[in-house]
Structure 1
């Protein structure tokens, strides 16, 4: 849960690595956020993209007392998809089908690539949502929860927040099909590698490493780029 007045303080893994002066590779290996006393994530326990409060992490890194977060429960508290689903007592996959409702879509807030909704909006939707007898998950024949013209930007925001994000994490964050997530991630990684290489003297492989992409996806992206230029 994110306090509405603390959106600007949210830190991702990538931002924490920068705060600590670590490369993403070192950060992934050491996992400093698992150390005793490190502030707990403000993302829900089920979320695969972890988020932290920057005031708390800055205090921890400065060896100062970690401040408490404001109390939760306000109408403007921002809930991720897991928290929103729990708020109205449905499965997360059900929420993925509900979130295209105009009421929810209009009030959605994207923080570091992750969708959130104000608690009050979620509670209002509770009174008008479809009955509990409906099937959960993305109904057969129903399109992805993110519009095609928005997909590139939404996945790009997730990739910026977490260079090692996986297909399943994109599906989890946006409610899209695995094939859709795979295509979007592959295209974006190729674009980013080519862009960084074109703006510097780096090879594609060096650009991919600088971007913090994991070895497996680096190999796939490089193979694709090399085939284009053969």
Structure 2
């Protein structure tokens, strides 16, 4: 199979959630900013950056959680020359690459139109890209690992959504201890202790790598995958 054909196939196998999720997340953020009843450009800028830090990561996390368990005959995949882990990693790469395209384009528009600079905690146009990158990878890694462990897209998506919602509703409590601050997904738009932002972003990236490593270990047990499929 030619490389371009292969990547097209993996994009289709990733599903509509991976393709439609990020642009819909941005669209909802724009609508929320337009319908914002609170006065002030700063509030509007916060909502727009919130689409990058909150909505896009949630969409990517749910999409990555749905990658495992979509194949109707895993035992056939396990006999292929390419390992099933490599196949799922390709699909995750497609999902995250498309998410990155949407996020970078959105950030570029916000920077060009001046909305990026209207939020005081924007952290600049370069380092500020961690606004969306760190939580996106963090939730995507969680979703990928949950999908591998549970073998259920619904369960993985529910876990990602629950973690996202808990951080939304209990953000103030998360700021009360070091671990909570380092793992907080919304440190750019919901606030962070001064000086903790960079450590928070790097921690989320490290956690994402750990989740992906866990997923690869779980997916390496082919007998477990076959057993789950037979149940």
TM over 0.5: no
Structure-2-length-normalised TM-score: 0.26
Structure-1-length-normalised TM-score: 0.26
Structure with the greater relative contact order (CA < 8 A, sep ≥ 6): 1 or 2?
Answer: 2
From the two aligned structures, give the one with the greater helix fraction: 2
From the two aligned structures, give the one with the greater strand fraction: 1
